[in-house]
Amino acid sequence: MSTEYKKPLPATQPWSEEFWKAAKLHKLVIQTCKKCNTKIFYPRKFCPNCWSSDLGWSEATGKARVYTFTITMDMVEEKFKEDLPYALAIVELEEGIRMMTRIVDCKPEDVYIGMDVQVVFEDITDDYTLPFFKPATNG
């Protein structure tokens, strides 16, 4: 694992730490309101639907579909240049949540809208792991 990670780390809040701890263990979790059952993304201090503070976490299946994407090829900050070209995407989880991510383990030009993908974890530092997605191996 690189100790010289120069790209931005997620700017976390105390109430989102569970998400990143789980990601480090290669689990994708979703915050859930125990009072109104809202699935909350991104994690909040209080439920954005009912303002309850009684919040918990549940593990997502990790299955998702590409809602839209772009192959980033130029005009990025110096620190992202080594990654070019990369497929930046918004995916829709089975649980109905949209996340920003990257599609990896395939050529960027093979990504398409509606593509079935599954979560894969990229350990970027000792503390942080980003949830990326790769083409689903089976339906």
For residues 22-61, which are near another protein according to CB under 8 A? Answer: 41-42
| Residue 17 DSSP SS3 | helix
Told to check if 104 binds another protein by CB under 8 A, we report no
Tell me the window of 21-29, 31-39, 51-59, 77-85 that interacts with another protein (CB under 8 A).
77-85
Q: Which of 14, 25, 74, 138 binds another protein (CB under 8 A)?
A: 74
CB nearer to another protein: pick between 130 and 138: 130
What's the CA gap between 135 and 7, in Å, rounded? 24
Q: How far is the CB of 41 from another protein (least distance, A)?
A: 8
Told to check if 7 binds another protein by CB under 8 A, we report yes
Q: Per residue in 63-85, is it b (16+ CB within 10 Å) or e — as a string?
A: bbebeebeebeeeeeeeeeeeee
CB nearer to another protein: pick between 8 and 139: 8
Measured in residues, the chain has a length of 139
CA-wise closest residue to 108 among 89, 129, 124 = 89
- Amino acid identity, residue 64? A
Binding site for another protein (CB under 8 A): 7-13, 16, 41-42, 67-78, 80, 83, 86, 88-90, 98-102, 113, 130
